[in-house]
Chains A and B, each alone.
Chain A
Amino acid sequence: QSALTQPASVSGSPGQSITISCTGTGSDVGSYNLVSWYQQSPGETPKLIIYEVTRRPSGVSDRFSGSKSDNTASLTISGLQADDEAHYYCCSYARSPTYVLFGGGTKLTVL
Protein backbone atom coordinates (compact mmCIF):
# COMPACT_ATOMS: atom_id res chain seq x y z
CA GLN A 1 0.00 0.00 0.00
CA SER A 2 1.27 3.51 -0.83
CA ALA A 3 2.29 6.07 1.72
CA LEU A 4 -0.20 8.74 2.73
CA THR A 5 -0.06 11.77 0.41
CA GLN A 6 1.22 15.08 1.73
CA PRO A 7 2.33 18.22 -0.14
CA ALA A 8 6.10 18.32 -0.43
CA SER A 9 6.30 21.86 0.90
CA VAL A 10 4.27 24.70 2.35
CA SER A 11 5.29 28.16 3.47
CA GLY A 12 3.93 31.07 5.43
CA SER A 13 4.96 34.29 7.10
CA PRO A 14 5.28 34.75 10.86
CA GLY A 15 1.87 35.18 12.45
CA GLN A 16 0.00 33.54 9.60
CA SER A 17 -1.75 30.15 9.60
CA ILE A 18 -0.97 27.22 7.36
CA THR A 19 -2.63 23.85 6.79
CA ILE A 20 -0.95 20.61 5.74
CA SER A 21 -3.13 17.91 4.22
CA CYS A 22 -2.68 14.17 4.49
CA THR A 23 -4.70 12.05 2.07
CA GLY A 24 -5.23 8.36 2.49
CA THR A 25 -7.99 5.90 1.63
CA GLY A 26 -11.00 4.27 3.17
CA SER A 27 -8.70 1.55 4.50
CA ASP A 28 -6.70 3.89 6.70
CA VAL A 29 -7.42 7.59 7.35
CA GLY A 30 -11.05 7.22 6.34
CA SER A 31 -11.77 4.27 8.63
CA TYR A 32 -9.94 5.10 11.84
CA ASN A 33 -9.52 8.13 14.07
CA LEU A 34 -5.93 7.06 14.61
CA VAL A 35 -4.12 9.78 12.71
CA SER A 36 -1.05 11.29 14.36
CA TRP A 37 1.31 14.07 13.34
CA TYR A 38 5.03 14.42 14.02
CA GLN A 39 7.33 17.43 13.82
CA GLN A 40 10.96 16.80 12.87
CA SER A 41 13.42 19.66 13.05
CA PRO A 42 16.75 19.24 11.19
CA GLY A 43 18.97 16.66 12.87
CA GLU A 44 16.31 15.91 15.49
CA THR A 45 14.12 12.98 16.42
CA PRO A 46 10.44 13.23 15.40
CA LYS A 47 8.18 14.73 18.04
CA LEU A 48 4.49 13.83 18.47
CA ILE A 49 2.31 16.93 18.17
CA ILE A 50 -1.18 15.55 17.38
CA TYR A 51 -2.74 12.13 18.00
CA GLU A 52 -6.15 10.58 17.45
CA VAL A 53 -6.81 13.24 14.79
CA THR A 54 -7.38 16.18 17.14
CA ARG A 55 -5.65 15.59 20.49
CA ARG A 56 -2.52 17.37 21.65
CA PRO A 57 0.02 15.77 24.00
CA SER A 58 0.78 17.66 27.16
CA GLY A 59 3.23 20.48 26.49
CA VAL A 60 2.38 20.95 22.81
CA SER A 61 1.26 24.46 21.92
CA ASP A 62 -2.43 25.01 21.18
CA ARG A 63 -1.30 26.70 17.97
CA PHE A 64 -1.22 23.16 16.57
CA SER A 65 -4.58 21.60 15.73
CA GLY A 66 -5.80 18.62 13.74
CA SER A 67 -8.92 17.65 11.87
CA LYS A 68 -10.22 15.04 9.44
CA SER A 69 -12.78 14.87 6.66
CA ASP A 70 -13.43 11.59 4.87
CA ASN A 71 -10.03 10.25 3.72
CA THR A 72 -8.07 13.44 4.37
CA ALA A 73 -6.56 14.59 7.65
CA SER A 74 -5.18 18.07 8.17
CA LEU A 75 -2.73 19.79 10.47
CA THR A 76 -3.16 23.52 11.03
CA ILE A 77 -0.49 25.71 12.61
CA SER A 78 -1.68 29.16 13.61
CA GLY A 79 0.43 32.16 14.57
CA LEU A 80 3.46 30.80 12.68
CA GLN A 81 6.78 31.20 14.44
CA ALA A 82 10.32 30.83 13.12
CA ASP A 83 10.93 27.69 15.14
CA ASP A 84 7.94 25.97 13.52
CA GLU A 85 10.18 25.52 10.48
CA ALA A 86 10.56 21.73 10.21
CA HIS A 87 9.33 18.66 8.40
CA TYR A 88 5.87 17.40 9.37
CA TYR A 89 4.74 13.79 8.94
CA CYS A 90 1.27 12.34 9.24
CA CYS A 91 0.70 8.73 10.22
CA SER A 92 -2.32 6.46 10.32
CA TYR A 93 -3.27 2.99 11.38
CA ALA A 94 -4.42 0.94 8.41
CA ARG A 95 -6.29 -2.32 7.94
CA SER A 96 -4.28 -5.53 7.84
CA PRO A 97 -1.86 -6.28 6.37
CA THR A 98 -0.59 -2.71 5.97
CA TYR A 99 -1.07 -1.69 9.61
CA VAL A 100 0.91 1.58 9.83
CA LEU A 101 1.40 4.21 7.13
CA PHE A 102 3.39 7.43 7.18
CA GLY A 103 3.00 10.34 4.82
CA GLY A 104 5.93 11.39 2.67
CA GLY A 105 6.48 14.49 4.79
CA THR A 106 5.96 18.22 4.27
CA LYS A 107 8.68 20.81 4.65
CA LEU A 108 7.37 23.96 6.30
CA THR A 109 9.27 27.15 5.54
CA VAL A 110 8.61 30.25 7.62
CA LEU A 111 9.36 33.19 5.35
Chain B
Amino acid sequence: QLQLQESGPGLVKPSETLSLTCTVSGGSISTSSYNWGWIRQPPGKGLEWIGSMFYSGNSYYNPSLKSRVTIFIDTSKNQFSLKLTSVTAADTAVYYCARMIVAGGIFFDRVDRWGQGTLVTVSS
Protein backbone atom coordinates (compact mmCIF):
# COMPACT_ATOMS: atom_id res chain seq x y z
CA GLN B 1 0.00 0.00 0.00
CA LEU B 2 1.55 3.27 -1.12
CA GLN B 3 1.97 5.81 1.64
CA LEU B 4 3.09 9.44 1.66
CA GLN B 5 4.48 11.26 4.69
CA GLU B 6 5.23 14.95 4.98
CA SER B 7 8.08 16.29 7.10
CA GLY B 8 9.46 19.72 7.85
CA PRO B 9 9.26 22.65 10.25
CA GLY B 10 5.87 23.50 11.71
CA LEU B 11 6.78 27.14 12.24
CA VAL B 12 8.28 29.55 9.72
CA LYS B 13 9.00 33.24 10.16
CA PRO B 14 7.49 35.82 7.79
CA SER B 15 9.61 36.54 4.71
CA GLU B 16 11.51 33.25 5.11
CA THR B 17 11.27 30.05 3.03
CA LEU B 18 8.92 27.19 3.81
CA SER B 19 10.50 23.80 3.03
CA LEU B 20 8.70 20.47 3.21
CA THR B 21 9.60 16.97 2.08
CA CYS B 22 7.33 14.07 1.21
CA THR B 23 8.65 10.54 1.57
CA VAL B 24 6.93 7.91 -0.56
CA SER B 25 6.89 4.30 0.64
CA GLY B 26 5.34 1.16 -0.77
CA GLY B 27 5.90 2.18 -4.39
CA SER B 28 8.28 3.97 -6.71
CA ILE B 29 8.15 7.64 -7.49
CA SER B 30 9.75 6.94 -10.87
CA THR B 31 6.65 6.26 -12.97
CA SER B 32 5.03 8.22 -15.77
CA SER B 33 1.55 7.07 -14.70
CA TYR B 34 1.53 9.55 -11.85
CA ASN B 35 2.85 12.89 -10.87
CA TRP B 36 3.60 14.16 -7.39
CA GLY B 37 2.47 17.40 -5.88
CA TRP B 38 1.32 19.60 -3.06
CA ILE B 39 -2.08 20.87 -1.96
CA ARG B 40 -2.72 23.16 0.98
CA GLN B 41 -5.67 24.03 3.21
CA PRO B 42 -5.69 27.15 5.40
CA PRO B 43 -7.36 26.57 8.77
CA GLY B 44 -11.14 26.36 8.33
CA LYS B 45 -10.89 26.95 4.58
CA GLY B 46 -10.86 25.02 1.33
CA LEU B 47 -8.24 23.19 -0.70
CA GLU B 48 -5.74 24.89 -3.00
CA TRP B 49 -3.51 23.11 -5.50
CA ILE B 50 0.07 24.36 -5.29
CA GLY B 51 1.80 22.41 -8.02
CA SER B 52 2.85 19.03 -9.42
CA MET B 53 5.91 17.40 -10.95
CA PHE B 54 6.70 14.26 -12.93
CA TYR B 55 9.79 12.27 -11.96
CA SER B 56 11.18 13.29 -15.33
CA GLY B 57 11.20 16.90 -14.18
CA ASN B 58 8.20 18.36 -16.02
CA SER B 59 6.38 20.63 -13.58
CA TYR B 60 3.15 22.59 -13.32
CA TYR B 61 2.40 25.35 -10.84
CA ASN B 62 -0.59 27.33 -9.61
CA PRO B 63 -0.14 30.68 -11.42
CA SER B 64 -0.98 32.58 -8.22
CA LEU B 65 2.01 30.98 -6.46
CA LYS B 66 4.32 30.27 -9.37
CA SER B 67 6.77 33.09 -8.65
CA ARG B 68 7.42 31.72 -5.14
CA VAL B 69 7.16 27.93 -5.56
CA THR B 70 9.60 25.21 -6.53
CA ILE B 71 8.90 21.49 -6.44
CA PHE B 72 11.72 19.05 -6.97
CA ILE B 73 12.07 15.28 -6.94
CA ASP B 74 14.86 13.07 -5.60
CA THR B 75 14.30 9.67 -7.19
CA SER B 76 17.25 8.14 -5.31
CA LYS B 77 15.46 8.80 -2.02
CA ASN B 78 11.91 8.33 -3.36
CA GLN B 79 11.09 11.79 -2.10
CA PHE B 80 9.79 15.07 -3.45
CA SER B 81 9.96 18.49 -1.87
CA LEU B 82 8.32 21.89 -1.77
CA LYS B 83 9.93 25.27 -1.32
CA LEU B 84 7.78 28.37 -0.92
CA THR B 85 9.66 31.64 -0.57
CA SER B 86 8.78 34.97 1.06
CA VAL B 87 6.01 33.51 3.18
CA THR B 88 3.38 35.56 4.97
CA ALA B 89 0.61 34.74 7.41
CA ALA B 90 -1.59 33.94 4.42
CA ASP B 91 0.60 30.89 3.78
CA THR B 92 -0.38 29.35 7.12
CA ALA B 93 -2.07 26.08 6.22
CA VAL B 94 -2.08 22.31 6.41
CA TYR B 95 0.16 21.18 3.57
CA TYR B 96 -0.63 17.83 1.96
CA CYS B 97 1.64 15.94 -0.37
CA ALA B 98 -0.26 13.88 -2.89
CA ARG B 99 -0.09 11.46 -5.80
CA MET B 100 -1.98 12.56 -8.88
CA ILE B 101 -3.13 10.30 -11.67
CA VAL B 102 -2.45 11.15 -15.30
CA ALA B 103 -5.25 10.98 -17.90
CA GLY B 104 -4.13 10.49 -21.48
CA GLY B 105 -2.03 13.48 -22.38
CA ILE B 106 -3.23 15.53 -19.41
CA PHE B 107 -1.16 15.57 -16.24
CA PHE B 108 -4.07 15.80 -13.83
CA ASP B 109 -7.06 13.50 -13.58
CA ARG B 110 -7.48 13.14 -9.83
CA VAL B 111 -5.69 12.86 -6.51
CA ASP B 112 -5.74 9.25 -5.42
CA ARG B 113 -3.32 9.28 -2.49
CA TRP B 114 -2.82 11.92 0.18
CA GLY B 115 -0.30 12.31 2.96
CA GLN B 116 -1.64 12.93 6.44
CA GLY B 117 -0.90 16.64 6.13
CA THR B 118 1.34 18.87 8.19
CA LEU B 119 0.37 22.22 9.69
CA VAL B 120 2.78 25.03 8.89
CA THR B 121 2.28 28.27 10.76
CA VAL B 122 3.88 31.49 9.58
CA SER B 123 4.57 33.70 12.57
CA SER B 124 7.40 35.64 14.16
Contact = CB atoms under 8 A, between A and B. Distances in A.
A102 B49 contact: yes
B48 interface: yes
B111 A36 contact: yes
A3 B49 CA distance: 11
Among A3, A36, A103, which residue has the most Cβ atoms of chain B within 10 A?
A36
A45 B96 contact: yes
A105 B114 CA distance: 18
Contacts of A18: none
Interface in B16-69: 45-49, 52, 60-63, 66
Among B47, B48, B52, which residue has the most Cβ atoms of chain A within 10 A?
B47
A95 B33 CA distance: 20
Interface stretch (B7-15, B79-87, B101-109): B101-109
Chain B, interface residues (CB within 8 Å), range: 20 to 34
B111 to A, nearest CB: 6
Given A36-B111, A38-B111, A57-B112, A46 B106 contact: no
Question: Helix, strand, loop or mixed for chain A's interface?
Answer: loop
Contact of A102 (B47, B61, B107): B47
Interface residues of A, number: 24
Interface of B: 45-49, 52, 60-63, 66, 96, 101, 103, 106-112, 114-117
Interface of A: 1, 3, 32, 34, 36, 38, 45-46, 48, 51-52, 57, 89, 91, 93, 97-105
The 5 closest A-B pairs by CB, nearest first: A100-B49, A36-B110, A51-B110, A105-B46, A102-B47
